[in-house]
Amino acid sequence: MSNVKIPDPDFAQSIIDAGGKTLDLCYQCGTCTGSCPSGRTTAFRTRQLIRKAQLGLKDDILPSEDLWMCTTCYSCVERCPRDVDIVDIIILMRNMAVQKGYMAEDHKKVGRSLLKTGHTVPASDKLKQLRVSMGLSADPPTTLADPQAMADFKKIMAKTGFEKLIGGA
């Protein structure tokens, strides 16, 4: 069986058209990979992902775990000598992946928390205790303490089809 990857000639252009105009500026120096904290503990290589995007290796990128390894810390963006909008390009490709039904399980969990509470990171009991000890209400004045805001938020989420994109609540 062949391992040859078939490029999609329109893929790089679709990233550029969606806002990743700096994709072509990358000259593969590898500074991003050397700056990446995720790459220190995983097989994720930022430079390689950007190169695959330039080459149109869509079928390699969209289902891959690598696409979800970036923590969006922006170390690479700060250091890139070509001012490539690396994180924006990764997020654009994630959006494309989600539309095709691919999303890392940990990101789905964050999405479920958002749907349930309006927060990506739920308020823990410890945080609530800390707030009370400081003379504050246990819940912050957000969707957690405002049923109308939560209802409005859920309406917006329903309109976007977010629940379907994360594979159900």
Q: Which CB atom, from 19 or from 141, has the smaller least distance to ligand SF4?
A: 19
Of 10, 19, 29, 151, which lies in the binding site for ligand SF4, with binding defined by CB under 6 A?
Answer: 29
CB 96, min distance to ligand SF4, A:
17
Among 12, 32, 67, 97, binds ligand SF4 (CB under 6 A): 32
How many residues touch ligand SF4 (CB under 6 A)?
A: 27
The DSSP result for 24-91, as a single string, is GG-----HHHHH-HHHHHSS--HHHHHHHHHHT-HHHHTT-GGGGT-----HHHHH-TT---HHHHHH
Site for ligand SF4 in 57-116 (CB under 6 A): 70-76, 80-82, 84, 86-87
Q: How many CB atoms lie within 10 A of CB 46?
A: 27
- Report, in Å, the least distance between residue 95 CB and ligand SF4: 16
Instruction: Tell me how far apart the alpha carbons of residues 2 and 5 are, in angstroms, rounded to a whole number.
Output: 9
